[in-house]
Amino acid sequence: MGEIEAGPLLKGIDTPDDLRKLDKMQLQQVCNELRQFIIDCVSVHGGHFGASLGVVELTVALHYVFNTPDDQLIWDVGHQAYGHKILTGRRKVFHTNRKYGGLSGFPKRGESIYDAFGVGHSSTSISAALGMAIASEYKGEHDRRHIAVIGDGAMTAGLPFEALNHAGVSRANLLIILNDNNMSIDPNVGALKEYLTDITTSHTYNKFRDEVWNILGMLPTKDFQRMASKIEAGLKGVVSKSSNLFEALGFRYFGPIDGHNVLKLTETLRGLQHIPGPKILHIKTVKGKGYELAEQDQTLWHAPGTFDKITGQINKKTSTIPEPPKYQDVFGHTLLELAESNKSIMGITPAMPSGCSMKIMMDKMPDRALDVGIAEQHAVTLSAGLATQGMTVFCNIYSSFMQRAYDMVIHDVAIQKLPVILCLDRAGLVGDDGPTHHGAYDLAFMRCIPNMVVSAPMNESELRNLMYSAQLPENKSPFVIRYPRGTGVMPQWRTPFEKIETGTGRKICDGTDVAILTIGHPGNFAVAACRMLAESDLYPAHFDMRFVKPLDEAMLHEIAGRYSKIVTVEDGTVVGGFGSAVIEFMVLHDYHPHVVMLGIPDRIVEHGKPEELHRECGYDAKSIAEAVRALMEVKQFATGHVVA
């Protein structure tokens, strides 16, 4: 399955310069072909789907009107940018999108000069574009334009409002396009959503808006600028309260307009080119536009995997053998089960109720499970506030997204020693989403915080038991439970709850010569490695430590007293992570074992299937077996293994 065939016009577009040679009346056909190309490619190769379909017309209009890449265009969030990639020289290799060694699923500065800023997470575009605009002004590049396309829920975070507050008092040549589709991955929530709906449904304002644009469109450029400043701003101030938020912050507000009318978009963007200073264009789009099933169920079709583009049947593995569940589903069902017996439990998630499976509890207990939008900082401090009032809070945030709330974890949770239970989904190498989404750092950045308990389950039963143990009344500390994306190892996972004492590990198997110490899901890789080694009559011991903080010191004393060779395995950075914690213990207690640390190396790991990345980073089952064999045979270790 290789390159996808493009339509006749799209086939001739290798750069935006080729697009600009077309007559504007051909743009709708380009949009049709681009939308079909995305459908054809994602149906076969997988990837994000609905978001890019929703901005096809906007993508074409932006590259048709603006002089990209000299004019700088930032997509926020980055999974809107498939059409952008296809129009900017990557159409012929787009079938490699999100594959090992292929294109990134998000804009990436190192991939193309058209990708002005890397945007794998959300809500960064306005700050970045403002920085670019200020730099251009300083360098005298007064004709250079800077466009931030923010949507898919990204405006609900705090960073855009910080940027708006600054940009509104600047003279920056900045255009913000608010792509209002009322969705992130799940439906948007909060007052801003209601506010934008009010703008969109204000018939009085829309009538005046259309009249204003008709008048302004007939004026010469210099008069357009002058009249836009006087007439339209005055009308909006009189007619509608809806524009006050943006205008009060110092922005010229235009819209809302139909984001699927490519000619109207083109006309509007040409007009905005000549208006100086910070401005916002509000467009209304439909996520999944042009593929009926994606329009009807926008959450399911955010990233559906491969599917039959004709029938809409999503391809799923079928098996008569019971399959292990996804860790996130075990979390979701277990949370509901615990909440049914503990009335103090509440759940908090920042815009990922479906992804983290908290929606299971939200459907049954809507007053006890809350989606706060893309607002990780707020999610943590909200959880802290709830905890002060005796609530038992499970705050579920993806590991890489928790990086955004680190200050709140320290300032609002740890310093006050509030027993918030932080469940970090997508820990470790997540696969196709790549370096912006890898949960590489949480073990290291959580274990250095005082008052924290930091744990990782090896399987589904351990996840249930850690969740059960964390919510017991005797737990008085912040409690981190981190687990990977995807399936576990236990088809029969609904095991009875058992309390796990904080800071206790368990011995998986006894052995000789070498001890393998694991944390979390990679313990299963070590089990497979031990089976491989047994075929050669090599029998290392294996210990599932379960806690990075506090470490099971009694178990470590036992290990250090018996084994002179140790291999640590983790799906986190080896810099300051689990292996580092073990070595620190050994040094503090004057033990001198030979330690090999396996885990994520001190570099950015690109995207690919998890098994490909585990092998690349050297901590899959085969790599563990190789490391143990090398230790037993006293050979040189493979490059990248850290030796102490």
In the predicted model, is pLDDT for residue 243 greater than 80? no
pLDDT number for residue 644: 40
Residue 279's CB: how many other CB atoms inside 10 A? Answer: 19
Contact 368, 346 (CB under 8 A): yes
Q: Same fold for the domain at 327-484 and the one at 506-643?
A: yes
Average pLDDT in the 172-185 region? 83
The pair phi, psi for residue 433, each rounded to 5°, is -70, -25
Question: CA neighbours within 13 Å on the CB side: how many for 128?
Answer: 21
CA 56 to chain centre: 22
Residue the block writes with tokens 């439906």: 187
**Any residues with CB less than 8 A from the CB of 633 and at least 6 apart, and which?**
none
Q: Are strands 345-349 and 453-455 parallel, antiparallel or unpaired?
A: unpaired
Residue 309 is a catalytic residue: no
Amino acid present at 384: A
pLDDT number for residue 120: 87
Q: What torsion do the CA atoms of 293, 296, 297, 299 make, to the nearest 10 degrees?
A: 110
What is the gyration radius of the CA atoms in the chain, in angstroms?
27
Bond into 350 cis (ω within 30): no
Average pLDDT in the 178-192 region? 69
pLDDT number for residue 121: 86
Question: CA neighbours within 13 Å on the CB side: how many for 59?
Answer: 28
Q: Which of 204-208, 390-394, 562-566, 636-640 has the lowest mean pLDDT?
A: 636-640
> Could you tell me what percent of the chain has a pLDDT over 70?
88
The tens digit of pLDDT for each residue in 22-36 reads 999 999 999 999 999
Q: In the beta sheet, which residues pair with residue 549?
A: 454
**Any residues with CB less than 8 A from the CB of 301 and at least 6 apart, and which?**
49, 50, 288, 291, 293, 294
Give whole-number Cα distances, 390 to 91, 192, 343, 345, 419, in Å.
Answer: 55, 30, 11, 9, 9
Token duo for residue 317: 């593995």
pLDDT number for residue 171: 85
CA–CA separation, 430 vs 464, rounded Å? Answer: 21
CA–CA separation, 482 vs 484, rounded Å? Answer: 7
Which position among 35, 284, 287, 289 bears the catalytic label? 287
Picking from 403, 401, 405, the residue whose alpha carbon sits closest to that of residue 413 is: 405
CA–CA separation, 31 vs 39, rounded Å? Answer: 12
- What pTM was computed for the model? 0.88
Token duo for residue 462: 């351990």
Burial class of residue 338, CB neighbours in 10 A (0-12, 13-18, 19+): buried
Token duo for residue 81: 């940018």
Which position among 33, 57, 232, 376 bears the catalytic label? 376
In the predicted model, is pLDDT for residue 333 greater than 60? yes
CATH number belonging to domain 327-484? 3.40.50.970
Picking from 449, 447, 459, 570, the residue whose alpha carbon sits closest to that of residue 503 is: 447
Contact 128, 74 (CB under 8 A): yes
More confident residue, 119 or 235: 119
CA–CA separation, 117 vs 67, rounded Å? Answer: 17
Token duo for residue 600: 């994520």
pLDDT number for residue 421: 98
241: pLDDT confidence band, cut at 50, 70 and 90? very low
pLDDT number for residue 227: 56
pLDDT number for residue 636: 41
Q: Are strands 642-643 and 594-600 parallel, antiparallel or unpaired?
A: antiparallel
Residue 287 is a catalytic residue: yes
Average pLDDT in the 50-78 region? 96
Alpha-carbon torsion 236, 242, 244, 249, what sign? negative
Mean pLDDT value across the chain:
90
Q: Please, what is the Cα angle at 457 between 561 and 434, to 5 degrees?
A: 110
Token duo for residue 430: 């997540």
pLDDT number for residue 642: 46
Picking from 584, 582, 609, 614, the residue whose alpha carbon sits closest to that of residue 599 is: 614
H-only helix segments in 252-375: 262-272, 292-296, 327-341, 359-364
pLDDT number for residue 181: 86
196: pLDDT confidence band, cut at 50, 70 and 90? low
Average pLDDT in the 475-500 region? 96
More confident residue, 228 or 534: 534
CA–CA separation, 51 vs 73, rounded Å? Answer: 17
Average pLDDT in the 179-201 region? 64
CATH number belonging to domain 506-643? 3.40.50.920
At residue 512, the 3 state secondary structure works out as coil
Q: In the beta sheet, which residues pair with residue 273?
A: none
389: pLDDT confidence band, cut at 50, 70 and 90? very high
Give whole-number Cα distances, 426 to 24, 76, 355, 478, 522, in Å.
Answer: 44, 21, 10, 19, 14
pLDDT number for residue 212: 52
Contact 289, 53 (CB under 8 A): yes
The pair phi, psi for residue 274, each rounded to 5°, is -100, 5
Picking from 563, 460, 439, the residue whose alpha carbon sits closest to that of residue 512 is: 563
Question: 8-185+242-293: what fold?
Answer: Rossmann fold (3.40.50)
Residue 546 is a catalytic residue: no
Residue 328's CB: how many other CB atoms inside 10 A? Answer: 25
CA–CA separation, 219 vs 624, rounded Å? Answer: 72
In the predicted model, is pLDDT for residue 233 greater than 90? no
In the predicted model, is pLDDT for residue 183 greater than 70? no
In the predicted model, is pLDDT for residue 541 greater than 50? yes
Q: Output the 3-class SS for 51-79.
A: HHHHCHHHHHHHHHHCCCCCCEEEEECHH
Residues in the chain, total: 644
Alpha-carbon torsion 479, 348, 461, 625, what sign? negative
Q: Which of 172-176, 208-212, 480-484 has the lowest mean pLDDT?
A: 208-212
pLDDT number for residue 239: 44
Which position among 326, 404, 447, 565 bears the catalytic label? 404
The tens digit of pLDDT for each residue in 132-170 reads 999 999 999 999 999 999 986 888 888 999 999 999 999
Stretch (H or E) spanning 94: none
CA 259 to chain centre: 25
What are the domain boundaries of the chain? 8-185+242-293, 327-484, 506-643
